[in-house]
Chains A and B, each alone.
Chain A
């Protein structure tokens, strides 16, 4: 079975600082895709960043970047220059046809 573990139920960071959210997963497949989604209080699930497992280069999207370690099955999200609007639940997910989601990390931004 495929599993995703987000070991940090809650994180907080000072505004303008950098924070890293961790994610590990388990799969026997070699080809898959990884995602970070953000869920603000509005409940809308919003894509933050996407990574193809066959690519060694880490994905970057403005202030958001990932550290993808395929051998370690680790996929962490780094948020630079944190902003108040980044406050949300963050979900890590991976898969191919079907996505498996982690339990989420609640991120609080301290003004």
Chain B
């Protein structure tokens, strides 16, 4: 069984450029989560979806960040324009039925904005 798939694994870009991170959740999972991990702030929840509908985006840092889930097997996190302080590891996770269920994480995307 394939786990959560994220692409790219590494991304280096210049300030001001648009960045798109991609995630494919585990088949059959109802919930999808986007996290950001930095040394300073640890692991933060950015947004999560239930059945492709955004439920809580209160963790999205600012309007430069947007996330979509057009179908059950694909989600994107977009940063436009990117800034150096966006450099972090971005994780996608999915779970079945959510409430108390285990979240399974993807391998993460390491983003470096120069």
Q: A-side interface residues toward B, CB under 8 Å?
A: 32-33, 35, 37, 42-47, 50, 52, 91, 96-99, 101-104
A101 smallest CB distance to B (angstroms): 4
Instruction: List the 4 closest pairs (A to B, CB-CB), nearest first.
Output: A45-B105, A33-B100, A101-B43, A103-B42
Number of A-B pairs, beta carbon distance below 8 Å: 39
Nearest-neighbor residue (CB-CB) of A33 within chain B = B100
* Residue picked from A42, A46, A50, A99, most chain B C-beta under 10 Å: A99
**Once the chains bind, are B102 and A35 in contact (CB under 8 Å)?**
yes
Interface of B is mostly: strand
**Once the chains bind, are A43 and B98 in contact (CB under 8 Å)?**
no
Q: Which residues of B contact A47 (CB under 8 A)?
A: 102, 104
Is B107 at the interface (CB under 8 A from chain A)?
Answer: yes
**Once the chains bind, are B43 and A97 in contact (CB under 8 Å)?**
no
A8 smallest CB distance to B (angstroms): 15
CA distance A50 to B45 in the complex (A): 19
**Once the chains bind, are B89 and A43 in contact (CB under 8 Å)?**
yes
CA distance A4 to B70 in the complex (A): 33
Interface size on B, residues (CB 8 A): 19
CA distance A48 to B48 in the complex (A): 22
Q: Which residues of A contact B14 (CB under 8 A)?
A: none
Is B55 at the interface (CB under 8 A from chain A)?
Answer: yes
A110 smallest CB distance to B (angstroms): 25
**Once the chains bind, are B107 and A44 in contact (CB under 8 Å)?**
yes
Nearest-neighbor residue (CB-CB) of A100 within chain B = B45
What is the 8 Å Cβ interface bit string for chain B, positions 55-97, against chain A (1 contact, 0 not)? 1100000000000000000000000000000000101010000
- Can you show 11 pairs from A to B with CB atoms below 8 A apart? A33-B100, A43-B89, A44-B107, A45-B91, A46-B105, A50-B102, A96-B100, A97-B98, A98-B45, A98-B56, A102-B42
- Cβ contact of B42, chosen from A42, A43, A52, A104, cutoff 8 A: A104
**Once the chains bind, are A44 and B108 in contact (CB under 8 Å)?**
yes
B2 smallest CB distance to A (angstroms): 14
CA distance A21 to B111 in the complex (A): 30
CA distance A44 to B103 in the complex (A): 12
Nearest-neighbor residue (CB-CB) of A44 within chain B = B107
